[in-house]
C-alpha cells in the first residue's frame, strides 16, 4: 500500500482524513514539522499533505515553508500538497514556485482531495518508472558514451554501433545538425579495438579552404609563406586511433581526391613534401547535407562516397524520437541542476506538453541548451514553458536593446494563453481543464482570477465538505 504523510496541527482534520483515506493508503500523521520530518525520513512517503500554518508559528507560513524545503531536500521527487487557509493563497502559490506539487484550501473536500492525491501518486509512479528506465538504459548503453534513447530508431543505432565497433570499416553517419553525430563517432571509437588510441575530430566546414589541406595532411617547413616549421596534420595525429571528419560534404573537391588516395592506399604526403607517410587510422565521416544531391550536382565524388560509407548510420531527428525528448529533458534537468547547484525539481505539466509538441529544429543540442539556460536563469523549483522559450515568439528588441517586456510579464502571458486555450478546448469545464493543466480546481480558479478570465458557467456541484 502506498504511503502518504499528513502534517496538520488540527487533530480532527488529521483523524478525518485518515478515516477517509485509510482504505487506499497507509496514512502517517504528524502535528508539527519536526514530527513530520521524523516520519518522512523513516517511511519515505510518496505524497505529503502539509499545512502551511503550523506550531509554534501557527499564524504564519514559516513552519510550512521549512517543512517543504527540508522534505524536498531529502527527496526532490516527493509530491507535496499544501493545505491552506483562505488568507494564504499568495503563500500557497509561492510554495508551488518552491517545489510544492499543488495546494488545496481548508476545510478539505474529501472527494476532490482524493482525485488530487491519486493524480499525485500516479505522476510520482510515472516519474519513478522513467528514472528507472533511464538508469537501465544508461547502464545497458554505457558503450554508447552517454547516448540516451529508447525509441526503436535509436535502438537500431545502438545495435549497429555494437556490430561495427570492433571492425575497421569506414563509417558514414548522417543526420540533421544537433542529432549527436560526434557522440556516435566517439561511441564507436570507445567500443572498438582502437579505444587506446587518439580520437581526432575535425570539422571540414569550419576551416577555410586554403588552410584545410594543411590541417588534414600537415605541411613541410617552407612550403608556403609562414610555414616556419614542419607540422603534422590531423590524419597523422590519428595514427592507431580514429579520425572523425564532420561535415565532409563541405570538403573542397580537390581535397576529396587527396583523401580518396589516403583511404585507398593508407599513405599521405604533407603539403610541400615528397615523402609517403603511412597512416593507420580508422575513418568515421558525417554530414547533414544531402549527399545524393551533392553527387548529382558534381560537388561530391561518387567514388569517395562509396569508400567512406561501407556502413551508414542514419540518426533520427529529435521530433521523430517520441518520448525520448522527455527522457533526455529529465537527464539534462538533473545534470545541470547538480552542476549549477540549483534546486530545480521538475517540469510543470504545461512544460512537458511543450517539450512533446515543439518541433526541435536544433534537435538534442537545442534541447540541451534550452534546459541549461532555463536552470541557470530560473529562481523557481518548477520549469515552465516560458523558461524554455515556449508558446510565444521571442520578443522584439527596440533600438535601445532592452526587452519589450520583462521575464515575469512573459511568463504571465504564457500562463494566460495556456489557461485560455484549456478553458476554450473544454468549453468551460473546470474539472477537465484543471486535469489537462495538472492543477487542482481551486488553483485553476485562482489563476483564472489572477488573469481576469471568466469560464463558462457549469453545472458542477460541490461535494460535501469535511466538518
Torsion of Cα atoms, 101 then 102 then 108 then 110, to 10°: -60
Mean pLDDT of 391-396: 40
Q: Is residue 296 scored above 90 in pLDDT?
A: yes
Which among 176, 172, 177 has a CA at the least distance from the CA of 160? 172
Mean pLDDT of 316-326: 92
**Contact status, residue 85 vs residue 53, Cβ threshold 8 Å:** yes
Q: What is the pLDDT of residue 209?
A: 82
Q: How far apart are CA 178 and CA 181, in angstroms?
A: 8
Q: Is residue 219 scored above 60 in pLDDT?
A: yes
CATH number of 324-450: 1.10.8.60
**The three cell numbers locating residue 146:** 552517454
Q: Is residue 126 scored above 50 in pLDDT?
A: yes
Mean pLDDT of 187-205: 92
Q: Is residue 463 scored above 50 in pLDDT?
A: no
**The three cell numbers locating residue 421:** 486555450
pLDDT tier for residue 225 given thresholds of 50, 70 and 90:
confident
**Contact status, residue 26 vs residue 119, Cβ threshold 8 Å:** no
**Contact status, residue 359 vs residue 366, Cβ threshold 8 Å:** no
Written in H, E and C, the secondary structure of the chain is CCEEEEECCCHHHHHHHHHHHCCCCEEEEECCHHHHHHHHHHHCCCEEEEECCCCCCCCCCHHHHHHHHHHHHHCCCCEEEEEECHHHHHHHHHHHHCCCCEEEECCCCHHHHHHHHHHHHHHHHHHHHHHHHHHHHHHHCHHHCCCCCCCHHHHHHHHHHHHHCCCCCCEEEECCCCCCHHHHHHHHHHHCCCCCCCEEEEECCCCCHHHHHHHHHEECCCCCCCCCCCEECHHHHCCCCEEEEECHHHCCHHHHHHHHHHHHHCEECCECCCCCEECCCEEEEEECCCHHHHHHCCCCCHHHHHHHCCEEEECCCHHHCCCHHHHHHHHHHHHHHHHCCCCCCEECHHHHHHHHHCCCCCHHHHHHHHHHHHHHHCCCCEECHHHHCCCCCCCCCCCCCCCCCCHHHHHHHHHHHHHHHHHHHCCCCHHHHHHHHCCCHHHHHHHHHHCCCCCCCCCCCCCCCCC
pLDDT in tens, 76-92: 889 999 998 766 778 88
What's the sign of the alpha-carbon dihedral 111, 113, 114, 115?
positive
Residue 268 burial (10 A CB sphere; 0-12, 13-18, 19+): buried
* 342 φ, ψ (degrees, to nearest 5): -105, 145
Percent of the chain at pLDDT > 70 equals 89
pLDDT tier for residue 399 given thresholds of 50, 70 and 90:
very low
Worst-scoring range by mean pLDDT, 77-81, 296-300, 452-456?
A: 452-456
pLDDT tier for residue 137 given thresholds of 50, 70 and 90:
low
Q: What is the pLDDT of residue 248?
A: 94
Q: What is the pLDDT of residue 414?
A: 76
**Contact status, residue 63 vs residue 36, Cβ threshold 8 Å:** no
pLDDT in tens, 138-178: 555 434 567 888 888 998 999 999 899 989 899 999 999 99
End-to-end CA separation in angstroms for the chain: 27
Q: How far apart are CA 115 and CA 320, in angstroms?
A: 34
Q: What is the pLDDT of residue 86?
A: 64
Q: Is residue 407 scored above 60 in pLDDT?
A: no
For residues 361-373, b (16+ Cβ closer than 10 Å) or e, as one string?
A: ebbbebbbebbbe
How is domain 3-136 classified at the architecture level of CATH? 3-Layer(aba) Sandwich (3.40)
Q: What is the pLDDT of residue 118?
A: 92
Mean pLDDT of 283-311: 93
Mean pLDDT of 373-387: 87
Mean pLDDT of 11-36: 93
Q: How far apart are CA 417 and CA 210, in angstroms?
A: 52
pLDDT in tens, 93-117: 888 888 899 989 888 889 899 999 9
**The three cell numbers locating residue 250:** 563541405
Highest mean predicted confidence (pLDDT) among 22-31, 352-361, 449-458: 22-31
Q: What is the pLDDT of residue 169?
A: 92
pLDDT tier for residue 265 given thresholds of 50, 70 and 90:
very high
**Contact status, residue 322 vs residue 308, Cβ threshold 8 Å:** no
pLDDT tier for residue 319 given thresholds of 50, 70 and 90:
very high
Q: How far apart are CA 319 and CA 459, in angstroms?
A: 40
CB atoms within 10 A of CB 383: 27
Mean pLDDT of 62-78: 91
- 152-315 and 324-450, same CATH topology: no
Q: What is the mean pLDDT of the chain?
A: 85
Class of domain 152-315: alpha beta
CA angle 335, 242, 146 (to 5 degrees): 15
Residue boundaries of the structural domains of the chain: 3-136, 152-315, 324-450
What's the sign of the alpha-carbon dihedral 372, 378, 379, 380?
negative
> Regarding predicted confidence, which is higher, 459 or 334?
334
**The three cell numbers locating residue 425:** 478546448
Q: What is the pLDDT of residue 36?
A: 95
Q: What is the pLDDT of residue 63?
A: 92
Q: How far apart are CA 106 and CA 465, in angstroms?
A: 9
Worst-scoring range by mean pLDDT, 47-51, 101-105, 432-436?
A: 432-436
Q: Is residue 392 scored above 50 in pLDDT?
A: no
Mean pLDDT of 57-64: 88
Q: What is the pLDDT of residue 130?
A: 75
Q: How far apart are CA 4 and CA 400, in angstroms?
A: 54
Q: What is the pLDDT of residue 355?
A: 92
Q: What is the pLDDT of residue 142?
A: 38
Amino acid at each position: 500500500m502506498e504511503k502518504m504523510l499528513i502534517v496538520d496541527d488540527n487533530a480532527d482534520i488529521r483523524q478525518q482524513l485518515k478515516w477517509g483515506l485509510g482504505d487506499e493508503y497507509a496514512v502517517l500523521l504528524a502535528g508539527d514539522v519536526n514530527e513530520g520530518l521524523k516520519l518522512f525520513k523513516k517511511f519515505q512517503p510518496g505524497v505529503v499533505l502539509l499545512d502551511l500554518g503550523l506550531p509554534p508559528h501557527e499564524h504564519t507560513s514559516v513552519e510550512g515553508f521549512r517543512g517543504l524545503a527540508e522534505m524536498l531536500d531529502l527527496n526532490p521527487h516527493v509530491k507535496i500538497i499544501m493545505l491552506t487557509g483562505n488568507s494564504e493563497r499568495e503563500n500557497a502559490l509561492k510554495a508551488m514556485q518552491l517545489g510544492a506539487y499543488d495546494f488545496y484550501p481548508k476545510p478539505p473536500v474529501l472527494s476532490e482531495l482524493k482525485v488530487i492525491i491519486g493524480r499525485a501518486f500516479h505522476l510520482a509512479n510515472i516519474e519513478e518508472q522513467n528514472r528507472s528506465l533511464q538508469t537501465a538504459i544508461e547502464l545497458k548503453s554505457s558503450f554508447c558514451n552517454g547516448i540516451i534513447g529508447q525509441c526503436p530508431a535509436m535502438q537500431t543505432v545502438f545495435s549497429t554501433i555494437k556490430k561495427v565497433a570492433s571492425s575497421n570499416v569506414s563509417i558514414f553517419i548522417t543526420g540533421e545538425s544537433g542529432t549527436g553525430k560526434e557522440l556516435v563517432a566517439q561511441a564507436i571509437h570507445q567500443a572498438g579495438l582502437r579505444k587506446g588510441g587518439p580520437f581526432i575530430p575535425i570539422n571540414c566546414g569550419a576551416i577555410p579552404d586554403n588552410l584545410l589541406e594543411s590541417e588534414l595532411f600537415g605541411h613541410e617547413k617552407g612550403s608556403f609563406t609562414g610555414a616556419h616549421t614542419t607540422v603534422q596534420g590531423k590524419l597523422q595525429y590519428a595514427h592507431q586511433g580514429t579520425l572523425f571528419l564532420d561535415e565532409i560534404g563541405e570538403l573542397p573537391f580537390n581535397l576529396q581526391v587527396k583523401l580518396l588516395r589516403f583511404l585507398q592506399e593508407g599513405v599521405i604526403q604533407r603539403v610541400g613534401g615528397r615523402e609517403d607517410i603511412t597512416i593507420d587510422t580508422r575513418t568515421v565521416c558525417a554530414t547533414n547535407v544531402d549527399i545524393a544531391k551533392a553527387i548529382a550536382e558534381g560537388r561530391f565524388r561518387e567514388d569517395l562516397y562509396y569508400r567512406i560509407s561501407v556502413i551508414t548510420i542514419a540518426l533520427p531527428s529529435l521530433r521523430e524520437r517520441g518520448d525520448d525528448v522527455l527522457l533526455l529533458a529529465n537527464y539534462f534537468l538533473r545534470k545541470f541542476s547538480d552542476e549549477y547547484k540549483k534546486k530545480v525539481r521538475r517540469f510543470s505539466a504545461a512544460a512537458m506538453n511543450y517539450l512533446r509538441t515543439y518541433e526541435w529544429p536544433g534537435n538534442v543540442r537545442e534541447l540541451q541548451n534550452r534546459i541549461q539556460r532555463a536552470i541557470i536563469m530560473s529562481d523557481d523549483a518548477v520549469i515552465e514553458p516560458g523558461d524554455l522559450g515556449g508558446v510565444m515568439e521571442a520578443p522584439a528588441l527596440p533600438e535601445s536593446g532592452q526587452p519589450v517586456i520583462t521575464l515575469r510579464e512573459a511568463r504571465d502571458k504564457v500562463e494566460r494563453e495556456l489557461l485560455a486555450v484549456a478553458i476554450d478546448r473544454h468549453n468551460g469545464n473546470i474539472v477537465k481543464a484543471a486535469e489537462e493543466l495538472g492543477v487542482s480546481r481551486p488553483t485553476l480558479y485562482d489563476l483564472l482570477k489572477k488573469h481576469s478570465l471568466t469560464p463558462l458557467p457549469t453545472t458542477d456541484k460541490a461535494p460535501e465538505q469535511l466538518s
